[in-house]
Amino acid sequence: MKTVSLFRFALVAMTAGATSALFAGQEALNASIQSSRTETILTHNELAANLKALNALVDQKEGDLRPAFDAFTSSLKGTRAASERTLKRVAGLHAEGEQHFSTWQAEVETISDEGIRTRALKRIAAARANWNAAAGALQEATVQFPALLGYLADIEKALSYDLTAEGVKSVRGTARSANDAFGRIQQLSEKAVRELDELSASMSSVIKS
């Protein structure tokens, strides 16, 4: 009886360990998806706040310009930090995705049943396409960062010495260029989030009605 009980215990432990290993890859991928999504939204929100502060400054018609300028320069710090954080994140996205999908594919290729294996490989291809599209959109968005940061830095420098109605008037064209650059980043960020959401939904263990 003891031998049978020990055998059953060992079998249950072995099964639990195998199941845990099987789910580990899915959980790791889901964690990467959520991390990328969170950072994308955080960066977008930082940039949006900075542009909102800039627009409030250049649109001000009367009163003291100093509070609006201080709000702009304060939020610019967040934009710079967000851009640096995103550049670091994007640099490793393709490699991170390839690590997840290569490991997944290696496991699938050991499946004996051809039908299951073929369908599983199609699932991998679809998931990889979502990930790569998100990574590509974020990579393209970071290309816009230098121009945006350049516009914002120029405005900061110009108004640091000429925070007057005429000084603000002189930077309005640059402010429009900054808004255009942000608009392109916003579109690409939204695309990345859509791709990550689609991938997240396809990788969820929860079935929704």
Judge contact between 133 and 195, C-beta under 8 A.
yes
Query: Is residue 13 predicted with pLDDT exceeding 70?
Result: no
Higher pLDDT, 32 or 5: 32
Task: Over range 99-123, report the average pLDDT.
Answer: 91
DSSP the chain: -HHHHHHHHHHHHHHHHHHHHHHHHHHHHHHHHHHHHHHHHHHHHHHHHHHHHHHHHHT--SS-SHHHHHHHHHHHHHHHHHHHHHHHHHHTHHHHHHHHHHHHHHHHTT-S-HHHHHHHHHHHHHHHHHHHHHHHHHHHHHHHHHHHHHHHHHHHHHHHH--SHHHHHHTHHHHHHHHHHHHHHHHHHHHHHHHHHHHHHHH-SS---
Q: How many CA atoms lie within 13 A of 98 on its CB side?
A: 5
Q: How many CA atoms lie within 13 A of 22 on its CB side?
A: 8
In a domain, 10, yes or no: no
In a domain, 3, yes or no: no
What pLDDT sits at residue 25? 66
Region of 63 (left: φ > 0; alpha: ψ -120 to 50; beta: rest) is: left
Domain that holds residue 40: 25-203
Higher pLDDT, 114 or 28: 114
Question: What are the pLDDT digits (tens) for 78-110?
Answer: 999 998 888 888 878 888 888 888 988 999 999
| Structural domain count of the chain | 1
In a domain, 158, yes or no: yes
Query: Is residue 19 predicted with pLDDT exceeding 60?
Result: no
- pTM to 2 decimals? 0.80
Question: What are the pLDDT digits (tens) for 56-83?
Answer: 999 999 999 999 999 999 999 999 999 8
What pLDDT sits at residue 166? 97
Distance of alpha carbon 81 from alpha carbon 108, whole angstroms: 40
Identify the CA nearest to 89 among candidates 126, 34, 168: 34
In a domain, 105, yes or no: yes
How high is the mean pLDDT of the chain? 85
% pLDDT > 70, the chain: 88
In a domain, 33, yes or no: yes
In a domain, 2, yes or no: no
